[in-house]
Structure 1
Amino acid sequence: MNMQTNPEIGQYIQTGSILTNYHDIGSGEPVLLLHGSGPGVSAWANWRLSIQGLKDDFRLLAPDLAGFGYSRSPADIVYSRQLWLEQIVAFLDALDIAKVNVVGNSFGGSMALALAIHHPERVNKLILMGSVGVPFELTPGLDAVWGYTPSEDNMRAIMRIFAYDQKLVGDDLVRMRYEASKRAGVHEAYEAMFSAPRQRWVEAMAHSEAEIRGIGHKTLLVHGRDDKVIPLATSLTLQQWIDDSQLHIFGRCGHWTQIEHAAAFGQLVDNFLKGA
């Protein structure tokens, strides 16, 4: 299967023990796009609209992190924030990219923070959207997302939690994400990452207040006011802790800012990255 038959498959590059599937689209200043952790997610599913909107101005790099999408991992892999961070650094090294702007969505926001905290010299500007990364009480929405078991009905229910505008949750989207979530090995990896009790995974993806306060990068925070997965309070906390930060809140928006408000989100990112 190649990109002609499946747009979620881009190209492959070796990153340590993981063979990373990624998309490298556009030209200009490099921007690393880190996806969220929903069932059946891939970099392409997460970022396809953003890529279309930004590719004329930036070089967009969107990898599938280990256990997600079409990246290939060893059978005995143990998923952790450290593993994903090592994959991201190895990915940048393999592409010979010294410094990059980073956009992290949800789970990917915690990984963007990890890169900024532990490898600050690799990050230019930081964009966090509906980001994990500070302690919060597990929401019923996130518990349902991480507790997903494959069926079309369950996937429809998950998609409805993500979206404020329920018209976005069409049969084609549900079927596409359901089919992706039940591919061989995919659900097994998902269960291995986020088994119950799930509050511990919120804690595992959180960084300390001191670490976050130490971030010196210019940071844009974006959140949907009506997000049922990651509470708006997380971005309010991050805005307090990151000194050089600004926060943009979209009303009538759930956890899918980059899809529900694709054009406005793209413009916000474009302006922020091009600004002084």
Structure 2
Amino acid sequence: MSEENPEIGQSVDVGGIATNYHRIGSGEPVFLIHGSGPGVSAWANWRLILPELSEEFDVAAPDIVGFGFTDRPDGFEYNMANWRKHLLGFADAIGLEKFSLVGNSFGGGLAISMAVNHPERVDKLILMGSAGISFPLTDGLDKVWGYEPSLENMEDLMKVFAWNPEIGANKDLAKLRYEASIRPGFHESFSQMFPTPRQNGIEDLATPEDQIRQITAPTLIVHGRDDQVIPLDNAYRFHQLIDNSQLHVYGQCGHWTQIEKAAEFTRLVASFLHSN
């Protein structure tokens, strides 16, 4: 981890893409896959989860290509097939054959796609505020994907992400995320991924329901009841589609379960990963 910037961890070459990641702990391997908010990185998404989960597991949290401090190759096409290829290449590069996946929002959509297309690589699946299924564009997600860099816009987004008004009104956090969103290359790649009409972005992240039904990996579905970005209905639909699944809904919680309910979420995930 860089002393100057904790978001910068180790780097590994994945098919010619210098990939930034954090890896700590020992035990069964678990990947943490971040969301798609402006200025996001694996560290920003999972900083409260990594230290606790790493006490029991080998935890790796990569910046998926196009996000964070992983390279952004010229002409790279940001789509599910290429994101999946990057994540598989990352697993190969750090020497992991099979692993559990914890996917947040966009990362949940990627985790589902991995479980469907490469079931032999996925041990257990944890979906948190997950995309990966078709649903009508919410006002919250439209604001997230339509973000134009300004401190005021980022302060507005904080209130969309979090139910807790103390987090939503945290100007220091908004300033950090705003400054992250204007780092060189960050907004350029972000704005390419989910252009208008943004409903297309939802469909591009979605896996067909008949394929989701075929998932056999034990699955934990977690959602904030008051999520303004990804509708709670997604969680119920995943629970109906995936036969071997459990569902946990947190009240008084928005899209940032891993921040608003960090301790509870970590305990829930650890317990699920330990279960047979």
- Tell me how far apart the structure 2 counterparts of residues 168 and 139 of structure 1 sit (CA, whole Å): 21
User: CA contact under 8 A between 1:217 and 1:244: conserved in structure 2?
Assistant: yes
Higher alpha-carbon deviation: 12-21 or 228-237: 12-21
Partner AA of 1:62 in structure 2:
A
Match of 1:4 in 2: 3
Task: Name segments (4+ residues, structure 1) moved above 2 Å.
Answer: none
Match of 1:200 in 2: 200
- Tell me how far apart the structure 2 counterparts of residues 191 and 214 of structure 1 sit (CA, whole Å): 33
- Tell me how far apart the structure 1 counterparts of residues 158 and 74 of structure 2 sit (CA, whole Å): 29
Structure 2: any 5+ residue segments left out of the alignment? none
5 Å-filtered alignment, 1:169-188, equals 169=168, 170-188=170-188
- Tell me how far apart the structure 2 counterparts of residues 167 and 18 of structure 1 sit (CA, whole Å): 38
Q: CA deviation at 1:96?
A: 1.1
Match of 2:238 in 1: 238
1:247 partner SS: strand
Match of 2:270 in 1: 270
- Tell me how far apart the structure 1 counterparts of residues 64 and 158 of structure 2 sit (CA, whole Å): 21
Q: CA deviation at 1:18?
A: 1.7
Return the TM-score normalized by structure 1.
0.98
Work out whether 1:165 is the aligned partner of 2:164: yes
Return the TM-score normalized by structure 2.
0.98
Q: CA deviation at 1:57?
A: 0.3
1:49 partner SS: coil
Partner AA of 1:263 in structure 2:
A
Match of 1:90 in 2: 89
Deviations 1:83-126 (A, max 9, x none): 10000000000111010010000000000011101110101010
User: CA contact under 8 A between 1:8 and 1:42: conserved in structure 2?
Assistant: yes
Structure 1: any 5+ residue segments left out of the alignment? none
Partner AA of 2:272 in structure 1:
F
Q: CA deviation at 1:78?
A: 1.2
User: CA contact under 8 A between 1:53 and 1:266: conserved in structure 2?
Assistant: yes
- Give the percent of matched residue pairs that are identical in Structure 1 and Structure 2: 53
Work out whether 1:141 is the aligned partner of 2:149: no
Match of 2:151 in 1: 152
5 Å-filtered alignment, 1:41-190, equals 41-169=40-168, 170-190=170-190
Work out whether 1:34 is the aligned partner of 2:37: no
RMSD (Å), alpha carbons? 0.8
Match of 1:248 in 2: 248
Q: CA deviation at 1:133?
A: 0.7
- Tell me how far apart the structure 2 counterparts of residues 253 and 90 of structure 1 sit (CA, whole Å): 34
- Tell me how far apart the structure 2 counterparts of residues 17 and 198 of structure 1 sit (CA, whole Å): 30
- Tell me how far apart the structure 2 counterparts of residues 75 and 166 of structure 1 sit (CA, whole Å): 40
Partner AA of 1:6 in structure 2:
N
User: CA contact under 8 A between 2:99 and 2:124: conserved in structure 1?
Assistant: yes
Match of 2:212 in 1: 212
Count of equivalent residues: 275
Q: CA deviation at 1:17?
A: 3.2
Partner AA of 2:182 in structure 1:
K
Deviations 1:153-200 (A, max 9, x none): 000111110000020131211111000000111101011001111000
User: CA contact under 8 A between 2:163 and 2:226: conserved in structure 1?
Assistant: yes
Deviations 1:240-267 (A, max 9, x none): 0001001000000000001000000000
Partner AA of 1:210 in structure 2:
D
- Tell me how far apart the structure 1 counterparts of residues 190 and 78 of structure 2 sit (CA, whole Å): 10
User: CA contact under 8 A between 2:72 and 2:189: conserved in structure 1?
Assistant: no
Deviations 1:175-229 (A, max 9, x none): 1100000011110101100111100000000010111000001000000000000
- Tell me how far apart the structure 1 counterparts of residues 252 and 156 of structure 2 sit (CA, whole Å): 19
Partner AA of 1:61 in structure 2:
A
User: CA contact under 8 A between 2:209 and 2:241: conserved in structure 1?
Assistant: yes
User: CA contact under 8 A between 1:105 and 1:130: conserved in structure 2?
Assistant: yes
- Tell me how far apart the structure 2 counterparts of residues 52 and 153 of structure 1 sit (CA, whole Å): 31
Deviations 1:23-50 (A, max 9, x none): 0111111100000000010000000101
Q: CA deviation at 1:74?
A: 1.2
